[in-house]
Amino acid sequence: MAEMETAAEFRQNRMAAKYGMWFFLYTELLFFGAMFLLYSVYRYRFPLDFHAGAKEENLYTGSINTLVLLTSSMTLAMAVSAIKRGQQKVSERLQMLTMALGVVFLAIKYYEWHWKIAKGLYPNSPVLLKLPKGEILYFGLYYALTGLHALHLIVGIVVVGFMLRYTRKGVINRENTARLENAGLYWHFVDIVWIYLFPLFYLVTK
Amino acid sequence: MKLEVPEGATGYGILFFIWIALAALLAATIAIALMNVRMAVALNFLIATSMALLNLFYFMDLRHEDRFLKTIIFLALFALTSIIILTYSDVFYRMAG
């Protein structure tokens, strides 16, 4: 009887952890949703300026980055699947690969930002302030949205790093996968945010 | 020895197939943007939503979650859609004035 209660409690805790993560993601959805709304309203008001601003975007690096993030989502989903099968080493390698892909994404994003900053296109720069109002808004939103996304990805890499440590220690195992599953939910959400950011900045104004 | 897939663990093959589908959708959305197809913006966002749904249902495993969680997600999306509609009605009203 005592064992049954423990199993029920374990299941309840697991559900509570998952619900907590989903509720956190809802707040994130509304946070990014408001930012997307801001972008779309200003784009509606300044279509030509946004079109001119988007010409600075590099479709090649944006596409590569999207593929990198999609691949990282697959590897983390596989890491969760592996731990559920009891394949600890496989899960560890897949978690490491996920973190590496996250770093690749950030490196490409750094290159993009560096290229724009070298051209003087950064918030409050003399070059940017000479441009039309719509273009100033475009680059402000570009840095705000991609910056916040990158910040979320950095948090994701750190979280997966902790999950890797827990997996190595055996805290995350075949019976106890909730932490890794929740880290996966967060990572996939960050991937979904990028899925919408990609057309907003790299495709819509082509 | 045949490896059994435990309950709740999505097969590697399925996850790889979903990745192929996502990569194909990514290629399609880039092609649409480059070819200046009519209604390209709407198509790009339709493809983005398809990609997000694949991610939600397979990578985030929403298809195995209970009705309560699915309802809450629907409510969150409904709230966001309402905010978008209300904001745009305000923007259109001001611009018309």
In a domain, residue B54? The reply is yes
The pLDDT, as a whole number, for residue B26 is 97
Higher local confidence (pLDDT), B9 or A67: A67
pLDDT at position A31 is 93
Cβ contacts (< 8 Å) between A204 and chain B: which residues? 33, 41, 44
The Cα of A179 is separated from the nearest Cα of chain B by a number of Å equal to 14
| SS3 labels along A152-187 | HHHHHHHHHHHHHHHHHHCCCCCCCCHHHHHHHHHH
- Region A143-159: mean pLDDT is 98
**pLDDT the model gives residue A9:** 80
In terms of residue numbers, what domain contains B94?
65-97
> Would you say residue B46 lies in a domain?
yes
- Identify which of B6, B45, B59 has the shortest CB distance to residue A73: B59
Q: Taking CB atoms and an 8 Å cut-off, how many pairs form between chains A and B? A: 117
> Taking the CA of residue B47 as centre, how many other CA atoms within 13 Å lie in the half-sphere pointing to its CB?
25
The mean of the pLDDT values for chain A is: 93
Residues B48 and B58 in one domain: yes
CB contacts, 8 Å: B44 with chain A: 199, 203-204
Interface residues on A facing B, Cβ-Cβ cutoff 8 A: 18-19, 22-23, 26, 29-30, 33-34, 37, 41, 44-45, 59, 63, 66-67, 70-71, 73-74, 76-78, 80-81, 84-85, 174, 181, 184-185, 188-189, 191-192, 195-196, 198-199, 202-204, 206
φ, ψ of residue B3 to 5 degrees: the values are -85, 120
C-alpha A147/C-alpha A113 separation (Å) is: 10
What is the tens place of the pLDDT at every residue in A71-99?
999 999 999 999 999 999 999 999 999 99
Q: Are residues B43 and B72 in the same domain?
A: no
| Dihedral sign (CA A195, A199, A201, A202) | positive
Q: Domain with A176 in it: what CATH number?
A: 1.20.120.80
Is residue A205 within 8 Å of residue A59, measured between CB atoms?
A: no
Within chain B, how many helices (H) and strands (E) appear?
A: 3, 0
Q: Which candidate, B84, B24, B9, places its Cα nearest to that of B54?
A: B24
On whether both B24 and B54 belong to a single domain, the answer is yes
Q: What is the pLDDT along chain B (97 residues), one digit of tens a residue?
A: 444 556 678 899 999 999 999 999 999 999 998 887 888 888 999 999 999 999 999 999 999 888 988 898 888 889 888 988 898 888 888 877 6
At residue A10, the pLDDT reads 76
Q: What is the pLDDT of residues A6-26, one digit of tens each?
A: 777 877 888 888 899 999 999
**Which residue type occupies A141?**
L
Nearest residue of A to residue B59, measured between CA atoms: A77
Q: Which residues contact B27 (CB under 8 A, 6 or more apart)?
A: none
d(CA B44, CA A50): 17
**B59 in the same domain as B19:** yes
Instruction: Single out the residue of B15, B64, B87 nearest to residue A42, CA to CA.
Output: B87
Query: Do B21 and B44 lie in a common domain?
Result: yes
Written as six digits, the tokens of B59 are 């990578």
How many separate domains does chain A show?
A: 1
B51 and B25 share one domain: yes
Provide the token pair at B53: 């749904």
Burial of B57 (0-12, 13-18, 19+ CB in 10 A): middle
List pLDDT tens digits, range A154-193: 999 999 999 999 999 999 999 899 999 999 999 999 999 9
Q: Which of residues 36-75 of B touch A (CB under 8 A)?
A: 36, 40-41, 44-45, 47-48, 51-52, 55-56, 58-61, 65, 69, 72-73
Region A59-66: mean pLDDT is 96
pLDDT score at A15: 84
**Maximum CA pair distance of chain B?**
73
Q: CB within 8 A of A165, min separation 6: which ones?
A: none
pLDDT for residue A2: 53
pLDDT band at A151 (very low <50, low <70, confident <90, very high): very high
Q: What is the pLDDT, as a whole number, of residue B1?
A: 43
ipTM, 2 dp: 0.91
Upper half-sphere CA count for residue A206 (Cβ side, 13 Å): 26
What mean pLDDT do residues A56-61 have?
A: 92
Q: Sort out which chain A residues have CB atoms less than 8 A from B16's CB and list them.
A: 74
CA distances from A27 to B8, B18, B73, B80 (A): 26, 27, 11, 11
Which residues constitute the domain of residue A166?
Answer: 2-203
CB contact under 8 A, B23 and A70: yes
pLDDT number for residue A4 = 60
